[in-house]
Amino acid sequence: MSLFSSLAALLTLAGLFSYLNARFLRQPAGIMFLLLGALTAVGVLAAGKVTPGFTAEIRTTLIKFDFTEFLMGSVLSFLLFAGSLHVRSDALKAVWRSIAAYSTLGVLLATALVGLGTYGLLHLAGEPLPLLPCLLFGALIAPTDPIAVLGILKTTPLDAKIETNLAGESLFNDGFGVVVFVTLLEIAAPGPAPTAGAVGRLLLREAGGGLLAGAVLGYVGYRLIRTIDHFQTEVILTLALVMGGYALCHALGVSGPLAMVVAGLAIGNVSRSQAVSDTTRDYLEKFWEALDEVLNAVLFVLMGLELVVIGFSPFYLALGVAAAVLALLVRYVALALPTRLLGLSRQLPPRTLAILSWGGLRGGISLAL
């Protein structure tokens, strides 16, 4: 199947599922796209009993499709920029301490605890693995998925502080989680183990460099946008900022996801100021909202279809359920410890930790890693 045919099939399914959800189901889009994609995968597998050639072609196409490159190499930049574009900086300032703690300390704690828990779980199950691969699993499952979280927030009314915490943490812990994963991957690579200093420098370069790059990109975008009043050009400028900026971050070896979050926050808050006209603001927001919806639909349908290439096993299904329970419990602990140690509970509404724990959805980021 050609690339165009594959994309056409994905967009057709996404369009059909979007219509069914908007017309009949009216549920959070990301979850419904994922479930409908999974049901389609089950249908494809069932059809294999009658037309094995058709199912084999679908499976071959999905195996050849580079999901990691699709998400981490391109789509993620647009989704993170679009997501952060709508987050208000004044709301972030009110809860910045908790967001910073949860997206850094929380990710490190979750990585360590899930890694240790998985190590013990696999030993009990009779399928032992070394500790480092278990920590890699902890790193890929620790960050919440901003795409899934922001999709839920569009349809779920929450206290403003809880909503900002959930959105802000999901945006920043995604970038930091990728940094932690890459660092552990460097440690696990063949050859001499890197020193503590080398690991620290890698973390600083990835995280600090990503934040700095995002600030520079946001400032450059702001200076360019404020000098014109032509919404078509300003939309093109934001596209160039995302694509060119993400490619530049990759070339420099800094975190592109973190850079896109910071750049999106900067451009979004500039568009809400008097720096741009109401027409420009309206077009910018609608364009990025529409692009966000389309890419989300394609991504979640694709995630559901991945069931076609995953073999079913009762043992691994049980292990997956146990790992999901472990990740949920660790999520609560990884939020509760920084909250208590840093005295964050005073600035948080009641039941914040419970909502953040259950609302910390995982999605395409974990699958891509």
Sequence spans of domains, the chain: 3-368
* Spatial CB neighbours of 35, under 8 Å, sequence gap ≥ 6: 304
Strongest mean pLDDT among 78-87, 187-196, 360-369 = 78-87
Q: What is the pLDDT of residue 139?
A: 94
Please, which pLDDT band fits residue 337 given cuts at 50, 70 and 90? very high
- One-letter amino acid of 161: K
Whether residue 102 has pLDDT greater than 70: yes
Task: Enter the tokens of residue 200.
Answer: 């620290």
pLDDT, tens digit, 9 for 90 and up, residues 21-61: 889 988 777 778 888 888 888 888 888 888 888 888 888 88
* Average per-residue pLDDT for the chain: 87
Residues 65, 308 contacting (CB under 8 angstroms):
no
1 closest CA partner among 52, 62, 49: 62
Q: What is the pLDDT of residue 245?
A: 96
Task: Enter the tokens of residue 233.
Answer: 């050009």
Question: Using CA atoms in the order 48, 52, 54, 58, what is the torsion angle rounded to 10 degrees?
Answer: 70
Task: Enter the tokens of residue 219.
Answer: 């400032």
For residues 164-193, average pLDDT: 86
Q: Tell me the CA distances in angstroms from 339 to 105, 336, 342, one per residue in order.
A: 10, 5, 6
Residue 151 C-alpha from the chain's centroid: 11
Q: What is the pLDDT of residue 348?
A: 84
Whether residue 147 has pLDDT greater than 80: no
- CB atoms < 10 A from the CB of 160, how many? 12
- One-letter amino acid of 176: F
Q: Which of 29-33, 288-292, 303-307 has the lowest mean pLDDT?
A: 29-33
Whether residue 328 has pLDDT greater than 70: yes
pLDDT, tens digit, 9 for 90 and up, residues 217-276: 999 998 898 888 888 999 999 999 999 999 999 999 999 999 999 999 999 887 776 667
Distance CA 51, CA 44 (A): 9
Distance CA 173, CA 164 (A): 14
Q: How long, in residues, is the chain?
A: 369
Q: What is the pLDDT of residue 311?
A: 66
Q: What is the pLDDT of residue 189?
A: 81
Check the CA dihedral 96-98-102-104 and report its sign. Answer: positive
Q: Which CATH number fits domain 3-368: 3.30.300.30, 3.40.50.360, 1.20.1530.20, 3.40.640.10?
A: 1.20.1530.20
Please, which pLDDT band fits residue 159 given cuts at 50, 70 and 90? confident
Q: What is the pLDDT of residue 175?
A: 84
Distance CA 369, CA 364 (A): 9
Residue, of 274 and 108, whose pLDDT is higher: 108
For residues 276-296, average pLDDT: 86
Q: Which of 92-101, 248-257, 276-285 has the lowest mean pLDDT?
A: 276-285
pLDDT, tens digit, 9 for 90 and up, residues 249-260: 999 999 999 999
pTM of the entire structure?
0.87
126 closest CA partner among 263, 353, 316, 313: 316
Residue, of 124 and 346, whose pLDDT is higher: 124
Task: Tell me which long-range contacts 343-349 makes (C-beta under 8 A, separation of at least 24).
Answer: 344/97, 344/98, 344/101, 347/94, 347/95, 347/97, 347/98, 347/161, 348/95, 348/98, 348/161, 348/162, 348/165, 349/159, 349/161, 349/162
Of the CA atoms within 13 Å of residue 267, those in its CB half-sphere come to: 33
> What's the alpha-carbon Rg for the chain, to the nearest Å?
21
For residues 268-296, average pLDDT: 82
Dihedral-angle region of residue 27 (phi above 0 means left; psi in -120 to 50 means alpha; beta otherwise): beta
Q: What is the pLDDT of residue 274?
A: 63
Q: Cα 176–220–234 angle (5° rounding)? A: 105
Residues 298, 78 contacting (CB under 8 angstroms):
no
Q: What is the pLDDT of residue 194?
A: 77
305 closest CA partner among 17, 95, 1, 35: 35
DSSP H helices in 125-208: 131-141, 146-153, 160-188, 196-203
Annotate 62-127 with DSSP letters as a single string. Answer: HHHS-HHHHIIIIIHHHHHHHHHHTS-HHHHHHTHHHHHHHHHHHHHHHHHHHHHHHHHHHHHTT-
Q: What is the pLDDT of residue 51?
A: 85
Whether residue 334 has pLDDT greater than 90: yes
Task: Enter the tokens of residue 164.
Answer: 């900002």
pLDDT, tens digit, 9 for 90 and up, residues 199-211: 888 888 999 999 9
